[in-house]
Structure 1
Amino acid sequence: MALSLQKLQSQFSVRRLLLPMLLGLGVVGYMLYRNYQPDQLQTLLNANLGWLAVALLVLFIRDFGYIYRIRHVTDKALSWRQSFSVIMLWEFASCALPSVVGGSTIAAYILFKEKIPLGKSIAQVMVTAMLDNLYFVAAVPLVLLFTQGHVLPEMEGLNPALRESLGVAFFISYLLIALYACAMFYALFINPKAVKQLLLRLARMKLLRRWSPALFRHANELLIASQHLHHKPRAYWLRASLSTFFVWTARYVIIGCLIAAFAHLSLHEHLVIFSRNLIYKIVLFVSVTPGAAGIAEVAFPAFFGAFLGGFTTIVVLLYRLLTYYLYLLVGAFVFPRWAARVFKHETPSLENASAAAFTKNPILLNR
């Protein structure tokens, strides 16, 4: 995929942004209409302000963690202001594009436009992808241990066989992500040349001829990324890993904070909510709507409704306002200023350079 200013503008046009916003808000409006109770306003007014403040703090920690990580991963080639713009555009793209595509598909291009060399931008996106997936791989066994395996939601009226199928689908997704994370680690740090040769052989197969350009591109990107990452010191990986831990923990904790503002939760219940969030994110990841709009709102009560009852819809709205609509608005403000800066002295045709900078990860936990 070749990117240019015109194509970016068409992807993030007002019309395209209005569609997911109207879809999500329409679903919430319908849920409010169906589940309205007279005491909901009083429950909202009696919210625990302390937990709401913690939710906002967690949101700040999450965003600051992303900004710190991208600045560190790029060896401080980005200023704090540039790092803020990159992360906000990354979140913006995740909200504006379908979840199966995700903002990571244009991350390397964004870094490339910030004057980071092609090889480094590819390597840096791969680093964040690998660390994000490794966090998920490590978190699942821990939450299974602490929650004694009670991670699947108890959905009323759900056929036991269907619930079992949900569990099987989750663990298959977990195994695929684990295999992908291990394969990426092997390809980047152990034997990149062997993996490159494998991809090139696959690209020459008749059955995979349709995807041969992408396979050739990934093979070259892999070797370039490995060369840039091979000699990084331990401190580089330690800081990148710690920031990834804080970022993703904050992402999964925020729902528990919002629920705790309206319902008393024990420590065990916080852990159960955290664990269900892992499955909830998998559901959102396979969504075909921009930013999982509509799907996120519908699926939320199934995973967390047991803790809130009829008040679930209000918390869905608060959660999406903080983690979705906020980034659409911030991104709509940041994008034109970023585009004016990075395209200021550029020739109209950028297809060749931008196509080389573009990278796509087939299995990547969506922001």
Structure 2
Amino acid sequence: MSKPVQHSPSSGPLISLKYLAISIALSVISMGIVIYLTYTPGVLEHLKPKRLPGLGIAIAVTLLKVYFSAAKIRYLADKVIGKMAAVRIALTWDFASAVTPSTIGGAPVATFAMTREGIQLGQSSAIMLYSVLLDQFWYALAVPILLISGIYFQVLPEEIGLVGNVSMALIYTALLLYGALLAYGLLINPAAIKKVIRVIFKLPFLRKYADKVNEEADNLESYSKLLKKKPYTFVLKAFYLSTMTWLCKVALPVIVVLSLLPADEILLVLRSLAMNLAFLVIPTPGGSGGVEGLFAIFLGPLIDRKAFIGLAVFTWRIITYYSSIGLGIFAMIWYVNDSVEQRLSETDEPIPVEELEDHG
């Protein structure tokens, strides 16, 4: 196993505290607004104790999501890392995604985590791309489901109006087109990705990084070719693990709502699916400030008691978003401690006998 790639201090912090603060602040503010607009005194008296164990199921599904995400990473890495290492990577990836803008995503931090676990940078980049491709396959499956279901059910809430419907149509189209391009670049013509990278890093302000990036692009192309040679069973199992991760994401809002009060289960699932696709285009760190509003817009009309909308949003974000931050911080601390220990071990070398004699 190759030596892990070190993160250079000069390259800047892996996680921006500014983005973390902005993400949490936006989440708190947006939840506060939803609760303020929907809360009525005495709402907690209407909670049914027999439904509350469903929140335990929601927590279990959150852990299942981490399990399937870790299993996918380990499977794509040909199991060169252990199960706990895969879990640490998955937690770090979730944490980074929760506190960085969607335009940046958690990929850079997840790549760092993989290299700390001993996966080569080129291979970790290929794993990232392949994971994204598997997500695109899921979107390609989800979009037709939503379109066909839209014939029989009110999948998109009336509250979003014409602008919302057009926006969702654009999201569906963009996801399908991006998935097709990514599949072509990664599975059919990986050399195309390398050509694009070479062109980009010919720019004057990026030229100094060209040699290193081109070397990693070669590794990426090589690993992409290895993935192309994998049997269909490999692709199917990887897609299964990716699908299970997404099903957990879709199930969580549904379980939270049903843990508070009855609702139309079919519509809850379909709207949760559509809502999760809409989350992808929110530019704020972790989608904060937007996902809370979308939850209220998509699922709020299905909740009989308006006062429960804010409670549902709050509970859902605690179980998903804030748990990702908490668990991710523990994973990041492990990597920081590991880096410190490695640097100490590298600097704590015994003094040669010759030097001791000279000083004697």
* TM-score scaled by length of structure 1: 0.79
Matched ranges for 1:12-27 at <5 A: 12-13=16-17, 16-27=19-30
Which segments of structure 1 move beyond 4 Å, counting only runs of 4 or more? Answer: 5-10, 194-197, 200-205, 208-214, 216-222
Q: Between the two proteins, what is the percent identity of the paired residues?
A: 25
Q: Is the 8 A contact 2:123 2:219 kept in 1?
A: no
- Between Structure 1 and Structure 2, whose CA radius of gyration is higher? 2
What one-letter code is carried by the residue in structure 2 that aligns with 1:295?
Answer: G
| Helix, strand or coil at the partner of 1:264 | coil
Q: Which amino acid aligns with 1:313?
A: G
> What's the counterpart of residue 290 of structure 2?
295
Residue 226 of structure 2: aligned partner: 228
Aligned match for 2:245, one of 244, 247, 263: 247
1:333 to 330, 333, 343: 330
Opposite residue 321 of structure 2, the aligned amino acid is Y
1:270-285 equivalences in 2 (<5 Å): 270-285=265-280
Contact kept, 8 Å, 1:126 with 1:225, in 2: the verdict is no
Could you tell me which amino acid in structure 2 is paired with residue 64 of structure 1?
Y
Alignment-derived partner of residue 88 in structure 2: 85
Cα 1:298–1:191 change in 2 (3 A) is: closer
* Aligned counterparts, 1:204-215, within 5 A: none
Which sections of structure 2, spanning at least 5 residues, go unmatched?
1-5, 345-360
Equivalent in 148, 153, 156 of residue 157 of structure 2: 153
| 317-326 vs 56-65, which moves further | 56-65
> Are the counterparts in 2 of residues 5 and 343 from structure 1 also a CA contact under 8 Å?
no
CA RMSD after TM alignment: 3.0
Check whether the contact 1:123–1:224 (CA below 8 A) recurs between aligned residues.
no
Over 3 Å counting, the alpha-carbon distance change for 1:24 and 1:193 in structure 2 is: closer
The aligned residue for residue 4 of structure 1 is 8
2:65 alignment partner in structure 1: 62
2:168 alignment partner, one of 167, 170, 187? 170
1:99 to 2:94 alignment: no
Is residue 155–residue 271 contact of structure 2 (8 Å, CA) maintained in 1?
A: yes
Question: Equivalent residue of 1:327, what SS?
Answer: helix
Residue 183 of structure 2 corresponds to residue 188 of structure 1: no
| Counterpart residue identity of residue 97, structure 1 | T
The DSSP-based 3-state class of the residue aligned with 1:276 is helix
2:52 paired residue number: 49
2:124 is the alignment partner of 1:121: yes
| Count of matched residue positions in the alignment of Structure 1 and Structure 2 | 332
In structure 2, the residue corresponding to 1:33 is in which secondary structure?
helix
Assess, with a 3 A threshold, how the Cα gap between structure 1 residues 210 and 134 changes in structure 2: closer, same or farther: farther
2:260 — aligned with what? 262
Displacement, 1:344? 3.5
User: Unaligned stretches of 5+ in structure 1?
Assistant: 348-367
Work out whether residues 28 and 317 of structure 1, in 8 Å CA contact, stay in contact via their aligned partners in 2. Answer: yes
Q: CA deviation at 1:3?
A: 5.2
**Displacement of 1:264:** 1.9
What is aligned with 2:356?
A: none
**How many Å separate the matches in 2 of 1:247 and 1:204?**
34
Report the AA paired with residue 327 of structure 1.
Answer: S
TM-score, with length taken from structure 2: 0.81
Partner of 1:179: 177
8 Å Cα contact 1:187-1:195 kept in structure 2: yes
Q: In structure 1, what is the Cα distance between the partners aligned to 2:200 and 2:284?
A: 30
Shift of 1:256: 0.9
Aligned match of 1:108 in 111, 133, 141? 111
Is 1:75 the counterpart of 2:78? The answer is yes
Q: Residue 234 of structure 1: CA displacement?
A: 3.1
